[in-house]
Amino acid sequence: MLDVRFIRSNTFRWAFGVACLFATFVTVLFAFIYFNIDDYLIARSDRVIIAQVSFFSALPLERRVSAIEDHLAEDPRSVQFAGLFDANGSRIAGNVGLLPNGLRIDGSVQNVQVAPLNWNAPGNPKVRAAARHLEDGDTLMIARNVDETWEISHAVGEALALGLLPAFCLCLLAGAWLSLRAQSRVEEVNQRVRRIIAGNLRERLPHRNVDEPFSRLAAIVNGMLDEMESMISALSGVGNDIAHDLRTPLTRARLTLERGRSHAGTLEQLQEAADKAIAGIDQSLAIVTALLRLADIENSRRSSAFGSVALADLIREVSDIYEPIAEDKQIRLSVGIAAKLEVRGDRDLLFEAIVNLVDNAVKFTPEGGEVDIELAQSEQGTVVRVTDTGPGIPRQETEAVLRRFFRSDKMRNTPGVGLGLNLVAAIVKLHGFRLVIHPGPGGRVEIICTRQERAGQRSGQLECPEARFQAV
């Protein structure tokens, strides 16, 4: 009948536990109240008895008997008993025949049984009685039937107990309802997730904009799915790019070999064809390697290898390396270091990024031009800036240039695979920095090392993915 999962669910068990605890607590409370009321009522009754004993004792003899008779007459419920006995134990007044057995004549109130005169009910009532010897030798006994107080206590107890059962049931019901509710939400999430796993990446978890744990969790998972979706579509894009860009050099290699095979007359010609084909294949391999590296960096968890990196040293090393190359092209390479600035990052990757930027700058600057590498501090953070006097990137292309394999038409024939900037972008993103590409004329690319938060840096990018690369 009831889903076993339901009963076993934590919420239900928890609710049941609380209900039981509640019941126990209430029972203890009731017991406490019950017995207290009981004691209170009896104590009050006892006080009345003692007061009556004092009262009657103080009366003069003539008045005493009539007072007792009046007292008993005013008792519609027959709860009062009184007896005045002489020194021999015979009754002088009252509705009790004999002094009860076992009653100590010391004025204290005790539980005894009395044998009332004209008693119709079966059995002798149990009463609270007190007795005292009077100065004239008589013994006075006053008693009250405490069934009444017992009845009152019972009534109170019952009333309270009557409330316990509904409270217990309510607790259980509440627990059951909460459990069902939680379960239905989990079931809903399960279904969505199953659909997502089946391939429908567009699905998102439902969440009302309420600030409660489930909604917060749903929001986080949705963010994660957003990121996954964009990564997967980027990857599938890469698949297309790879196919396209590998086909070209591979096709060329094949054609060259075919031609060589059918047209080569001498061994040298064949060797030449083979050399060309090898070059084409090498280029394809370079593309594959570069793409794998790119994927590796983009999916890398290398933020654990971060240390303190002295950017000034990196820049000087890069300029050292590219000096001769720049000189060959009559390009003036200058370095401007404002201060010995340091950032947290992966030294090798940052080195590679700067090398790529400088490589591009030197590659695309015509003879006699200038390339500048600067390290400076700005309000946004430490800045590494590479500028050149080449044509730069046209405004319309500043965004496109980060697409894989993008080579602007002017650059079609320069060496390289076209992934340099992608690599830089991936490295920049891994570090949580910003890459800013300014439009031409003149090349101007900046890596702004924004102050990083701790480890969860990459997940912080979820809110505004476009802000990672900024095309100005």
Partner 1 sequence: MLMTKVLLIEDDGETAQEISAELTDRGFEVEWSSDGIDGLGKARSLRPDAMIVDRLLPGMDGLTIIDTLRRDQVRTPVLVLSALGAVDDRVRGLRMGGDDYLTKPFAVVELIARIEALLRRPVETRETTLRAGSLELDLIERTVRRGERKIDLLPREFRLLEYMMRRSDQLLTRAMLLEEVWNYKFVPTTNLVDVHMGRLRHKVDWPGEAQMIHNVRGAGFILRTLA
Residue ranges in contact with partner 1 by CB under 8 A: 275, 285-286, 289, 292-293, 296, 320-322, 324-325, 328, 348, 352, 355-356, 359, 363, 415-416
Nearer to partner 1, 172 or 242 (CB): 242
DSSP 274: H
Of 143, 104, 417, give the one whose Cα is nearest residue 282.
417
247, amino acid identity: R
The minimum distance between CB 328 and partner 1, in angstroms, equals: 6
The residue ranges of DSSP E strands in 41-193, in sequence order, are 80-85, 91-94, 110-113, 126-133, 139-145
Burial group, residue 11, by CB count within 10 angstroms (0-12, 13-18, 19+): middle
CA 301 to chain centre: 24
Residue 257 C-beta: closest distance to partner 1, Å: 16
Q: What is the chain's alpha carbon radius of gyration, rounded to the nearest angstrom?
A: 50
Closer to partner 1 by Cβ: residue 3 or 296: 296
Minimum CB–partner distance for residue 2 and partner 1 (Å): 54
Work out the number of other CB atoms within 10 angstroms of the CB of residue 191: 11
Instruction: Dump the DSSP string for 174-197.
Output: HHHHHHHHHHHHHHHHHHHHHHHH
Nearer to partner 1, 185 or 363 (CB): 363
Element (H, E) at 17: helix 10-58
Query: Which residues are within 8 A (CB) of 450 and not within 5 positions of it... i.e. 6 or more apart?
Result: 380, 381, 432, 433, 434
CA dihedral of residues 206, 207, 212, 218 (deg, nearest 10)? 50
Q: Cα–Cα distance between 87 and 137 in angstroms, integer?
A: 6
Say how far apart CA 232 and CA 456 lie, in whole Å: 21
Give me the torsion for CA of 21, 23, 24, 25, rounded to 10°.
80
In the complex, the smallest distance separating the C-beta of residue 241 from partner 1, rounded to whole angstroms, is 20
Tokens at residue 263, please?
Answer: 């047209």
Quick one: 19 or 314, whose CB is closer to partner 1? 314
Of 151 and 275, CB closest to partner 1: 275
Nearer to partner 1, 131 or 428 (CB): 428
Residue number, 133 or 293, with CB nearest to partner 1: 293
CB of 304 to partner 1, least distance (A): 12
Q: How far is the CB of 360 from partner 1 (least distance, A)?
A: 10
Q: Which CA distances in Å does 455 have to 294, 351, 383? A: 21, 22, 22
Which residue, 61 or 285, is less far from partner 1 as judged by CB? 285
DSSP string, 386-428: EEESS--B-GGGTTGGGSTT---GGGTTSSS-S-HHHHHHHHH
Nearest-approach distance from CB 348 to partner 1, in angstroms: 6
Nearer to partner 1, 166 or 324 (CB): 324
Minimum distance from residue 420 beta carbon to partner 1 (Å)? 9
In this complex, which beta carbon is closest to partner 1, that of residue 100 or of residue 249? 249
187 vs 348 by CB, closer to partner 1: 348
242 vs 263: CA distance, rounded Å = 31
**Shortest separation between residue 391's beta carbon and partner 1, angstroms:** 19
151 or 328: CB nearest partner 1: 328
Smallest distance from partner 1 to CB 363, Å? 8
Chain-centroid distance of CA 161 in Å reads 40
What own/partner pairs with CB < 8 Å and gap ≥ 24 does 395-403 have?
A: 395/439, 395/440, 398/437, 398/438, 398/439, 398/471, 398/472, 399/469, 399/471, 401/437, 402/437, 402/469, 402/471
Q: Considering the complex, what minimum distance in angstroms separates the CB of residue 356 from partner 1?
A: 8
